[in-house]
């Protein structure tokens, strides 16, 4: 996704006079994974902005043909990228993120940039201690090889099936893999794995900022990548903020909950929260 395209979306949102909603994807996906969500929020009267990570290709085909563009993207670099874009909006947006996008959404909220935030199966930040075996198994696809720190790492179908699509049918899992899966930067996974050991980590959230705004964490009951233990620990880190903080578990849903056949229920849950706090 080119910077010009991202800026054009920001300018269109500003020109619309509507409340913006910024969607932030996580690892192994592209902005196109939010397309149906953006349509739902536009129909509800919001101005969707769906920016990419730095150097994101426009299509899955292009991404898989040129995987190297994803390499060497750190959490701090990507957070600054999104926060810079959000800062160009005339009105504080709602920010919705999935997985590492959920972490980035919380970082932007902690910087006082979000009017309301929805973090869906968010990657953990410093202070979130649980490390369930399933999450370790997913991360080991990358962090098992130190050389992957500076690489772009694709998921095999079996890794995607376990980490994303464990709660859908085999047929749907294969369709999701073909439609959405792209390589991802290895660096954020190494950063997240060492966040509690590194006082200077970029993987940190200012949970106490009174300008954080309302926050909803959505957890998929069957998520292997970000299980309930991680999502709930993130909630506990956030719940003492002076703004409303909520958590909800979506039954029988895995990490693919934003893109699989049950996406609309998750989108409606996020939309209801945003409407309540950012009409």
What are the structure tokens assigned to 173, written together? 């899992």
Task: Report d(CA 99, CA 43) in Å as an integer.
Answer: 25
pLDDT > 90 in the chain, percent = 95
Residue ranges making up the domain that contains 17? 3-277
What are the structure tokens assigned to 169, written together? 């049918």
User: At 279, is the pLDDT very low, low, confident or very high (cuts 50, 70, 90)?
Assistant: confident
User: At 130, is the pLDDT very low, low, confident or very high (cuts 50, 70, 90)?
Assistant: confident
Task: Report d(CA 214, CA 130) in Å as an integer.
Answer: 24
Mean of pLDDT over the chain? 96
| pLDDT at residue 173 greater than cutoff 70 | yes
| pLDDT at residue 3 greater than cutoff 70 | no
Q: What is the pLDDT of residue 259?
A: 98
Q: What is the pLDDT of residue 131?
A: 86
What are the structure tokens assigned to 220, written together? 């998929």
Q: What is the pLDDT of residue 144?
A: 92
The CATH number given to whatever domain includes residue 140 is 3.40.50.1820
User: At 278, is the pLDDT very low, low, confident or very high (cuts 50, 70, 90)?
Assistant: confident
Q: What is the pLDDT of residue 2?
A: 57
Q: How many structural domains does the chain have? A: 1
Q: What is the pLDDT of residues 6-23, one digit of tens each?
A: 999 999 999 999 999 999
What are the structure tokens assigned to 89, written together? 């909006």
User: At 1, is the pLDDT very low, low, confident or very high (cuts 50, 70, 90)?
Assistant: low
Global confidence as pTM: 0.97
Q: Helix H segments across the chain?
A: 3-16, 35-43, 60-65, 75-86, 100-110, 133-143, 157-163, 170-180, 187-193, 228-238, 263-277
Q: Say if residues 181 and 160 touch (Cβ distance below 8 Å).
A: yes
Q: What is the pLDDT of residue 4?
A: 59
């Amino acid at each position: 996704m080119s910077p010009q395209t991202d800026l054009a979306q920001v300018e269109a949102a500003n020109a619309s006079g509507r409340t913006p909603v910024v969607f932030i994807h996580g690892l192994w996906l592209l902005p196109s994974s939010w397309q149906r969500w953006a349509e739902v929020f536009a129909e509800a009267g919001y101005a969707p902005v769906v920016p990419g990570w730095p150097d994101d290709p426009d299509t899955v085909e292009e991404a898989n043909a040129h995987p190297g563009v994803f390499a060497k993207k750190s959490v701090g670099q990507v957070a600054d990228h999104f926060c810079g874009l959000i800062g160009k909006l005339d009105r504080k947006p709602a920010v919705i993120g999935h997985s590492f996008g959920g972490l980035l959404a919380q970082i932007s909220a902690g910087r006082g940039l979000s009017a309301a935030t929805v973090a869906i199966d968010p990657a953990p930040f410093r202070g979130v201690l649980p490390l369930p075996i399933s999450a370790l198994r997913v991360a080991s696809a990358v962090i098992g090889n130190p050389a992957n720190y500076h690489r772009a790492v694709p998921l095999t179908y079996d890794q995607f099936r376990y980490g994303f699509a464990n709660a859908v049918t085999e047929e749907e899992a294969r369709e999701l893999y073909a439609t959405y899966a792209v390589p991802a930067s290895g660096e954020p996974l190494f950063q997240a794995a060492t966040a509690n050991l590194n006082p200077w980590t970029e993987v940190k959230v200012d949970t106490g900022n009174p300008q954080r705004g309302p926050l909803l964490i959505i957890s998929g009951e069957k998520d292997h990548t970000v299980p309930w233990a991680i999502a709930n620990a993130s909630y506990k880190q956030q719940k003492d903020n002076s703004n409303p903080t909520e958590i909800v578990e979506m039954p029988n849903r895995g990490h693919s909950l934003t893109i699989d056949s049950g996406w609309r229920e998750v989108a409606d849950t996020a939309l209801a929260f945003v409407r309540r706090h950012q009409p």
